[in-house]
Structure 1
Amino acid sequence: MLLDELLELDLGCVPHVLARLAAELDADSPTIREVAERLSADQRHGRLPLPSPLPLVPSIVRRFDATQFDDRDRELLTALSVCLDGGLDALLEFDGRSAAAIAAAPVGEHIRVHAGHSRFADPRLSIWIRATTGTAAIAGVHERLSAIFRRRGDRVSEGWHRARASLEAAPETAVELTVIARQLSEAGHPERALLLAREAAEHAVGGAREEAHLVAGASAVGAGFAAEAVAWFGGLYPHAAERRRLQALGGLFVAQAFEQGSVPEVDPRVLRPCTDDSDDWCHWTRAAALAAVLCAERGDRRGMRVWLDAVREGATRIGAEHELRDPVVALSWLIAGERDIGATVGSGPVTGGMLRALQAAMGGDVDLGLRVLASGGSGMPADADPFVPGFEHSPVVQAYRAVVEVLLLVWRGDIGLARDRLIQAAVVLPVSLPLAGLGVVLARRLDLAVLGELGPYARSLTEGLPAGARIDRLVDRGIQSFLAGSFDDAAATIRLWADLGSARTTMTVPALDELALDPDGRSTPAPSIEPPEIALAQSLRVRLATAGDGRWRSECVEVREEARTLRSPFARARVETMLGTQYAIRDDHPSARIHLEHAERLFELCGATAWARTIRGRLDRLDAKEGSIVPTVDPLAACRAAWSLQLTARELEVAMYAVGGAANRDIAEMLNFSVRTVEVHLGRVFAKLDVRSRVELTVLAHRTDHHL
């Protein structure tokens, strides 16, 4: 796969950028590699747009260097290469021949015509034509096309070609191009809008130039080109008119958060409007709302509160408490991990659809949440969203919707389907941007669940994360070790993750939290967003992991019954896996086999094939070795790792010496303790592991090691 090849060459491209390269380079792998070498990391990672045209590389030169065209055919191909779209009628008027005549001519083999549109048979020819045609000749083609589109009443194409035909500045074209660019951006075509706004900025002067910068920045944000947006918006500070700086403020916050991984630390009061104009206050309030949600995504509650205070102040001044303040406050606190936020929703795809979907899922109805998202992606016109006006149809907002849909599919237990949907979205949308990289975390966890390792899509998306973004790679390593049968490495890795602060997304994704218990058997607390049954499944796994022999019989019966209420096949399979393992540790092989077989079928049902393979391996070893779940070289390595989740380091040392047969006095000498200290530690060990004597402790140690 080309994603893999580029990663090996240190030229990793995020999937939607690679898909664009494949479309423009006829999916030719050598050409894609050569072009990728000419691109910057920001371009390959989607933070800057691809150059237009793409660079002329040796493989394209070799492909067309011997090709010759007469002047008429070359002009036709040049016109096709510079048109905003491939409308056939305008090209026929430009050339003067009929479609049949062009098809019969030598140039016909290089053009494909269908349903009134034309395109290059090999899109690489467009790059070669533009690179080998002089500037004056290209300007002449633009000028002729401008006249044709003027007669046809096509304002967009006429203005574009007129500006491109001007070898000197043409300020009169800038205003109209900017207006058209804004319309295209708000209609969901930000890349074309950026093209027009860039051209407008080249020709505009004064206030018109500031407006072109503003539209170019907004278009870049909508497309996900964070570094490009920062450059355009940054050009408005500090000297542009205050109104345009306020209009740019929200987009600048978004772009900087996407590029740098964090929200700029700035006092909202410093940025307050200097006038009483309601439009200025509206822009400031919306910027504060965006900053609050971005802080919530990144777990910055202090920053979120500061910006929400600004939202409240601004919303009061402009009378937007219901449509802007209330849904933004609800969305911010929900993303930050608060459950009791009421049922406030706004309108549009973010404060309406996305917020409603998450609230429904957290209320226990994941299917309703998915239906809400599906209705928003049905192609019907989206309601205006006061939180993101003008961006309702943008790729960035679509990416947010796609990531939340995948999250809900994971919560429902459709692991294979969730992975397929995320890959489909990744080839057309910047899915690494929403919710502080949640799409990347999901891609990694889903690859581990299905493949047992990180695949090219997950690794490419990871490379596209901004430098400041944090994802919990230790958890990924722990899961990979666990699925490979290395329980001791998995436990040590997850414990290290817990010791380092348990970095995680507030929206719950599959992890190994039951291995992150403190010495008293408590899981690491953290605010989280999840449906009730995901929380229930996690609590059941923790109960099983911490149940000593004295409580085991009652716990296993209760857990079995509660597990039957879980509708997510993945969540229930995880509980069945824990039940099977614990039964095996206690030498109840028939019960262990029943629960492990249930887990295997459920993992297969939900598409988590790597988990299913792991369970099949455990069943095979159970059959072949009288209960051995995972073989190990060190006789008590797995036991040591398992007990390290419940015991302190000193307690663990004392326990392992005791299991080895050392007397209390010997242990005291080896550890430089008093005998009384050894007795105290052993007493705590007995209590935590629910045993009553050294004999029971030794039996438990060998039993645990035998089955883990």
Structure 2
Amino acid sequence: MAVAARLTPEQRRGLGRLPWPLPSAADAVPLGMLSTPDRLLLLTVALAFEDDLYPVLAVDGRGVEEVRASGASPYLVIHAGRVRFADPRMETRVHATASAAEVAHTHARLAAVAVRRRDRVAAAWHRARGGAARDRLSAAALTAGARAAAAEGRTERVLLLAAEAAKHAAGDIGEEARVLAGCAALACGHAADAEEWLGSLVCGAAEHRRGRALGPFLVARTFRYGAVPAVDPQRLAPLRTADGDSWARSAALLAILCAERGDRRAGRRWLADVRDGASRVGGDGVLRDAVESLCGLLAGEVVTGDVPGAGGLLGAVSGALFAACGGDIDEGLRLLQTADLPGVGERDPMIPGFEHSPLGRAYRIVTEVLLLVWRGDIGRARLLLRRAAVELPVAIPFAGLGVVLARRLDLAVLGAFSPIARALTAVLPPAADMDVLVDRAVEAFLNGSFEAAAGAIGLWRDRGEPQARFAVPGVEEVVLVPEAGRASPAVRPPETEFADALRHAVAASGDGAWRTEQETLREAARRLRSPFARGRVETLLGVRSGLHGDPIEARSHLAQAEILFEAAGASAWGRAVRRRLQRLETDPHVTGGAHLPVCRSAWAQRLTSRELEVAMLAVEGTGNRAIAERLSVSIRTVEVHLGRVFAKLHVRNRVELTVLAHRTEQYL
């Protein structure tokens, strides 16, 4: 916490690169117990450009065995010609105890070793880091090294070198360094840094660098603030044909970002620029066709025929989504896993060189997690996302889909939000639209509060039932009266659509039709391959069976649901079903409508407020005359209300109404 307090808000949110070295904590362990040579050895390891052991030994003057016998040895791991700190926090402590003169002197000695080894980049790095003045010669070497690293797809190396070069250079080299640093920062998810480096180039740089900086600058602002800037692409596009290829790639990414956020009007403008750029540079249309198809999928359009192929990350992510939405989730997962193998796959037509960048890997991981959720592997999906969240910007892809998944997966497994999910929520930009009401409904439902869940879902329905772009687990179990024509997520596989329709059919089945529809619904549930999706349907079948007076069938369905949830890794859903089963073992012995809050919440979805009051009073045993006096209406009005209640709840008299009330309290 002491270190975090010294970071900027952008750095704490992951929008800015962490400083190197990190600010020291107040409780830093002193190194006075070490001898001066051992302390300087640790400083050399901390300042070294790479983890190569040779430069460290050359500066220190001792051999490997002597270093291993020294007082610094417990703090180091030396293996296979590499050296690193056993505890990464020691690097910060070493910096905190070193003087500026010691740091400068160590950098100078490391630079001399790099010169002898003819390592121009390492020599320039140490001269730039150790010098007090701007070093334009080192900046030129660092910029050249950053360009070479970009060609190799080493995004973090590009950012390291270009960011240092930008501090020392001016003119053309300075502009080139800022372009490289800004694009690399963007690929690492550091949108604030990218915006700062690229923003200075948008107005004052040479035209060809402006063309390279403008698109990434707009992407950086989108990531930082949550909305694609409202600009006219035609007025911004470079006029030179030589810049058309770079601009077309940026326009393609911005078109996808618009599609992720449901902004179809702006997306069409950016797609038009992609087409225009492809025609001006004489491309083969691979990028154009792939982006148009992906944007169509994100918009919910039905894509027929062969899906246009593309290499790299764009091809893997779009291919996986198309395969899953076509019914083959396993094929989608295979495409993602194959694309992540080093040296496998074609160069990406949209982000060449950045296929394996942190942002690119985050897109791949979030897509894989989504497909695992659709397949019903809840526990595995959560574990994968938690591991990735530690080192990748998983809150950025698909307009915050990673955050939505982190929250829903935590609820499915824990029944509450973990610190990681809360931290990811905190980094979302202001314009991000989080479905907090559905999250609250899921949390309340899984923790046994049907009335609180129904209340949250009621507020969500009052807002027009806003839907996420991708199908993620909600809590349709508390929606007892499904509405016809309800909007659905744009991107979902056929099985998710089938399971959703099946849950609605179970919820809408009345008492008269239940006896004939029950077996058909049970058989349809067996067709679901996802254990999580089937578990939710089995839960609803169990609840409905109980409400219709068949406790044996209810226990059977709920027992199956518990097994299925455990197989999916959805422990919180399993616990919720187990609580229902335990309630069935004991008669609640509830008397009086005033003590039936779950029943009141459930019936409120079917009855008007006046009908609900009449029904609850009737369940308490209050006669029609007494109800009329309490509500200040006529006896005839009470009889009319009761008749409507009986019809809506599929009961014939007060006795059946009272039985249904207690069953509802027991099963929901």
Shorter chain as denominator, the TM-score bin is: over 0.9
Match of 1:635 among 562, 575, 595: 595
Question: Could you tell me which residue of structure 2 aligns to residue 441 of structure 1?
Answer: 404
With over 3 angstroms needed to count, the CA separation of the structure-2 counterparts of 1:303 and 1:521, relative to structure 1, is: same
Question: Could you tell me which residue of structure 1 aligns to residue 321 of structure 2?
Answer: 358
Question: Could you tell me which residue of structure 2 aligns to residue 266 of structure 1?
Answer: 231
1 or 2 for the larger relative contact order (CA 8 Å, sep ≥6)? 1
Q: Is it true that 1:606 corresponds to 2:574 in the alignment?
A: no
Q: Is it true that 1:67 corresponds to 2:38 in the alignment?
A: no
**Does the aligned pair in 1 maintain the 2:467–2:489 contact within 8 Å?**
no
Question: Could you tell me which residue of structure 1 aligns to residue 556 of structure 2?
Answer: 594
With over 3 angstroms needed to count, the CA separation of the structure-2 counterparts of 1:648 and 1:155, relative to structure 1, is: farther
With over 3 angstroms needed to count, the CA separation of the structure-2 counterparts of 1:706 and 1:130, relative to structure 1, is: closer
Q: Is it true that 1:330 corresponds to 2:293 in the alignment?
A: yes
Letter in 1 for 2:232: D
Q: Is it true that 1:646 corresponds to 2:606 in the alignment?
A: yes
**Does the aligned pair in 2 maintain the 1:382–1:393 contact within 8 Å?**
no
Separation in 1, partners of 2:49, 2:283: 40
Match of 1:562 among 510, 521, 524: 524
Give how far 1:80 is off.
Answer: 2.0
Matches within 5 A, 1:115-264: 115-185=80-150, 187-264=152-229
Deviates more, 1:304-313 or 1:210-219: 304-313
Separation in 2, partners of 1:539, 1:648: 26
**Does the aligned pair in 1 maintain the 2:646–2:653 contact within 8 Å?**
yes
Q: Is it true that 1:476 corresponds to 2:439 in the alignment?
A: yes
Deviates more, 1:137-146 or 1:371-380: 137-146
With over 3 angstroms needed to count, the CA separation of the structure-2 counterparts of 1:642 and 1:169, relative to structure 1, is: same
Letter in 2 for 1:245: R
With over 3 angstroms needed to count, the CA separation of the structure-2 counterparts of 1:81 and 1:113, relative to structure 1, is: same
Question: Could you tell me which residue of structure 2 aligns to residue 493 of structure 1?
Answer: 456
Deviates more, 1:148-157 or 1:608-617: 148-157
Question: Could you tell me which residue of structure 1 aligns to residue 414 of structure 2?
Answer: 451
Letter in 1 for 2:51: G
Separation in 2, partners of 1:485, 1:583: 19
Name the TM-score, length of structure 1 as normaliser.
0.87
* Unaligned ranges ≥5, structure 2: none
Identity over aligned residues, as a percent?
50
Separation in 2, partners of 1:638, 1:74: 67
Deviations 1:64-104 (A, max 9, x none): 2533533x555443332211112111222223332223333
Give how far 1:238 is off.
Answer: 1.4
Question: Could you tell me which residue of structure 2 aligns to residue 287 of structure 1?
Answer: 250
Report the 3-state secondary structure (helix = DSSP H, G, I; strand = E; otherwise coil) of the residue aligned with 2:323: helix
Match of 2:303 among 340, 355, 379: 340
State how many pairs are aligned.
668
With over 3 angstroms needed to count, the CA separation of the structure-2 counterparts of 1:267 and 1:693, relative to structure 1, is: farther
Give how far 1:558 is off.
Answer: 1.3
With over 3 angstroms needed to count, the CA separation of the structure-2 counterparts of 1:651 and 1:632, relative to structure 1, is: closer
Question: Could you tell me which residue of structure 1 aligns to residue 269 of structure 2?
Answer: 306
Separation in 2, partners of 1:669, 1:342: 68
Give how far 1:321 is off.
Answer: 5.8
Give how far 1:693 is off.
Answer: 6.1
Match of 2:473 among 491, 510, 525: 510
Deviations 1:444-487 (A, max 9, x none): 11111111111222222222222222221211111111111111
Deviations 1:541-588 (A, max 9, x none): 111112111111122121111001011111111111001111111221
With over 3 angstroms needed to count, the CA separation of the structure-2 counterparts of 1:514 and 1:56, relative to structure 1, is: closer
Match of 1:43 among 2, 6, 11: 11
Deviations 1:259-299 (A, max 9, x none): 11111111112212233x2x322222222211111111122
**Does the aligned pair in 1 maintain the 2:124–2:142 contact within 8 Å?**
yes
Question: Could you tell me which residue of structure 2 aligns to residue 461 of structure 1?
Answer: 424
Deviations 1:500-525 (A, max 9, x none): 2333421111111353466x743731
Question: Could you tell me which residue of structure 2 aligns to residue 26 of structure 1?
Answer: none
Q: Is it true that 1:94 corresponds to 2:71 in the alignment?
A: no
Deviations 1:7-29 (A, max 9, x none): xxxxxxxxxxxxxxxxxxxxxxx
Deviates more, 1:645-654 or 1:245-254: 645-654
**Does the aligned pair in 2 maintain the 1:174–1:199 contact within 8 Å?**
yes
Aligned-residue RMSD, C-alpha: 2.9
Give how far 1:367 is off.
Answer: 1.0
With over 3 angstroms needed to count, the CA separation of the structure-2 counterparts of 1:313 and 1:634, relative to structure 1, is: farther
With over 3 angstroms needed to count, the CA separation of the structure-2 counterparts of 1:284 and 1:378, relative to structure 1, is: closer
**Does the aligned pair in 2 maintain the 1:159–1:176 contact within 8 Å?**
yes
Question: Could you tell me which residue of structure 2 aligns to residue 23 of structure 1?
Answer: none
Give how far 1:589 is off.
Answer: 0.9
Question: Could you tell me which residue of structure 2 aligns to residue 398 of structure 1?
Answer: 361
Give how far 1:331 is off.
Answer: 1.0
With over 3 angstroms needed to count, the CA separation of the structure-2 counterparts of 1:332 and 1:58, relative to structure 1, is: same
Deviates more, 1:123-132 or 1:579-588: 123-132
Match of 1:622 among 584, 595, 598: 584
With over 3 angstroms needed to count, the CA separation of the structure-2 counterparts of 1:644 and 1:59, relative to structure 1, is: same
Separation in 2, partners of 1:387, 1:631: 66
Letter in 2 for 1:403: V
Separation in 2, partners of 1:583, 1:109: 65
With over 3 angstroms needed to count, the CA separation of the structure-2 counterparts of 1:542 and 1:211, relative to structure 1, is: same
Deviations 1:89-124 (A, max 9, x none): 122222333222333344445443211112234544
